[in-house]
């Protein structure tokens, strides 16, 4: 660790020096090579350069203000072709903890589930009722919001729409609840649908993806990033209700707020689960599922960084056994989506991606992230609904009559 200011001073300075009342002071971790261009951009705005607190593994810890996040994202996009490329923390302690992620994935009290495939009947019942048209419809509804940006009114409305839609899918099942997870620091809530487990209710399987969107232009349709992920597992919820699936373990489907601004929604949720001692046995993240690569025949990229190796092997078996499409390992190289929030809290997380990471959708974070760029179908996302259905049934156990 290269200390840029004396360690004693660092302990004495747990918040940025210029904290303002309506503009919360935050911490970000960012590629060290981005510090100079960010400082230059700040100078052009007439802002003081952020003072680096420390540098570790080429990542620098910087104090900034919430109002500066968009400008930083712009620099990352323009200079590094990255779609944010930094992670936001509300406290100095959290930011410091992120620089020493756990090497040992599972905490002692977490259940490590069996990864043996023993629920083929249930998986195949679910897969049989999955329909591309429903996935397409959810993508169209979500991407019709002008933006789902975490501070926007339409960002809030889109989360509320998802809550209402999931509630309608779960209507008539007393073991299914839908709730909002409110975040103190911004308006957009996360949304959680829970199917209470029958025999192992204290063990929890999570399937999630972010519901917010962002864009450099005047609209942020986020059809692929990430209406597609939300739509893929929303169809699994519908299928589970249609076949009367009752899991032995509790299954939670989560639409995360505020991913695009540093994984903020999922960070709070994963910390909440951790702090409350919830036995999360496995987490599946779906982020970008509907843009098939035009460059290679790989249909699924299994991301191997910030994820759990044993669960990734299980995921690859699910894809081979139940979906039968070509897959390969891939890496983001940084904490690119909400799976990293769970990973950083010591939970087993995996993320199957629409392609090898470098071959994914080039239109994300622009006005052109529309379903038209995927041929106006959800054919590719249907593969990911199958993957999520298999994950839920095999880890959730239980049965469908």
From 66, 90, 224, 225, the catalytic residue: 225
CB of 78 to Zn ion, least distance (A): 16
- From 162, 318, 336, 385, residue interacting with ligand BES (rule: CB under 6 A): 336
CB of 247 to ligand BES, least distance (A): 28
- Alpha carbon dihedral 100, 65, 337, 397, in 10-degree steps, equals 80
SS3 65: strand
For the sheet containing 300-303, what is the strand order? Answer: 327-330, 300-303, 352-353
SS3 205: strand
Q: Is residue 77 flagged as an active site residue?
A: no
Cβ neighbours around 341 below 10 Å, total: 29
CB of 371 to ligand BES, least distance (A): 16
For the chain, state the CA radius of gyration: 20
Alpha helices in 45-152 (DSSP H): 69-80, 92-98, 120-129, 132-143
- From 215, 219, 234, 337, residue interacting with ligand BES (rule: CB under 6 A): 337
Q: Is residue 175 flagged as an active site residue?
A: no
**Residue 82 interacts with, from ligand BES, Zn ion, none (CB under 5-8 Å by kind):** ligand BES
The enclosing H or E element of 377 equals: none
CB of 359 to Zn ion, least distance (A): 16
- From 16, 105, 262, 282, residue interacting with ligand BES (rule: CB under 6 A): 262
From 365, 369, 383, 394, the catalytic residue: 365
Nearer to Zn ion by Cβ, of 238 and 380: the residue is 380
Nearer to ligand BES by Cβ, of 224 and 397: the residue is 224
Q: Is 193 in the site for ligand BES (CB under 6 A)?
A: no
Q: Is residue 183 flagged as an active site residue?
A: no
Nearer to ligand BES by Cβ, of 155 and 360: the residue is 360
Nearer to ligand BES by Cβ, of 113 and 209: the residue is 209
- Whether 354 and 295 have beta carbons less than 8 Å apart is answered as no
Residue 109, class by beta-carbon neighbours within 10 Å (0-12 exposed, 13-18 middle, 19+ buried)? Answer: exposed
- Whether 212 and 257 have beta carbons less than 8 Å apart is answered as yes
Q: Is residue 380 flagged as an active site residue?
A: no
Segment interacting with ligand BES (CB under 6 A) among 48-56, 193-201, 237-245, 257-265: 257-265
The phi and psi torsions of 113 (rounded to 5 degrees) equal -75, 165
Q: Give the DSSP letter of residue 22.
A: S
Q: Please give the positions annotated as active site.
A: 210, 225, 259-260, 287, 365
Residues lying near ligand BES in the complex (CB under 6 A) are found at: 82-85, 87, 225-226, 259-260, 262-263, 287-288, 332, 335-337, 353, 357, 360
């Amino acid at each position: 660790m290269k200390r840029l200011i004396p360690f004693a001073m660092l302990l004495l300075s747990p918040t940025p020096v210029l904290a303002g009342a309506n503009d919360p002071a935050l911490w970000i971790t960012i590629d060290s090579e981005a510090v100079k261009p960010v400082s230059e951009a700040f100078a052009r705005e007439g802002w003081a350069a952020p003072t680096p607190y420390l540098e570790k593994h080429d990542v620098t810890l910087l104090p900034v203000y919430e109002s500066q996040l968009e400008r930083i994202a712009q620099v990352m996009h323009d200079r590094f072709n990255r779609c944010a490329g930094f992670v936001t923390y509300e406290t100095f302690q959290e930011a410091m903890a992120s620089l020493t992620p756990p090497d040992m994935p599972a905490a002692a009290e977490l259940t490590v589930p069996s990864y043996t495939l023993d629920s083929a009947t249930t998986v195949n019942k679910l897969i049989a009722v999955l329909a591309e048209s429903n996935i397409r419809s959810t993508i169209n509804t979500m991407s019709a919001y002008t933006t789902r940006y975490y501070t926007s009114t339409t960002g809030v409305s889109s989360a509320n729409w998802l809550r209402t839609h999931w509630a309608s899918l779960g209507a008539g099942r007393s073991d299914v609840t839908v709730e909002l997870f409110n975040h103190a620091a911004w308006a957009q809530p996360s949304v959680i649908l829970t199917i209470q487990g029958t025999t192992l209710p204290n063990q929890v399987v999570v399937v999630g993806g972010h519901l917010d969107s962002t864009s450099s232009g005047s609209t942020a349709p986020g059809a692929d990033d990430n209406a597609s992920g939300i739509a893929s597992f929303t169809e699994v919820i519908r299928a589970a209700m249609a076949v009367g699936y009752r899991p032995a373990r509790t299954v939670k489907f989560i639409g995360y707020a505020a991913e695009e601004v540093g994984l903020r929604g999922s960070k709070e949720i994963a910390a909440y689960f951790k702090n409350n001692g919830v036995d999360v046995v496995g987490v599946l993240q779906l982020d970008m599922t509907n843009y098939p690569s035009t460059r290679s025949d790989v249909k699924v990229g299994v991301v191997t960084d910030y994820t759990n190796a044993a669960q990734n092997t299980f995921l690859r078996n699910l894809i081979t056994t139940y979906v039968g499409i070509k897959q390969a390992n891939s890496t983001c190289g940084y904490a690119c989506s909400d799976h990293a929030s769970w990973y950083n809290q010591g939970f087993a997380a995996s993320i199957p991606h629409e392609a090898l990471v470098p071959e994914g959708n080039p239109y994300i974070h622009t006005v052109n992230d529309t379903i038209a760029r995927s041929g106006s179908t959800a054919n590719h996302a249907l593969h990911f609904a199958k993957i999520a259905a298999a994950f839920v049934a095999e880890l959730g156990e239980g049965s469908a009559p």
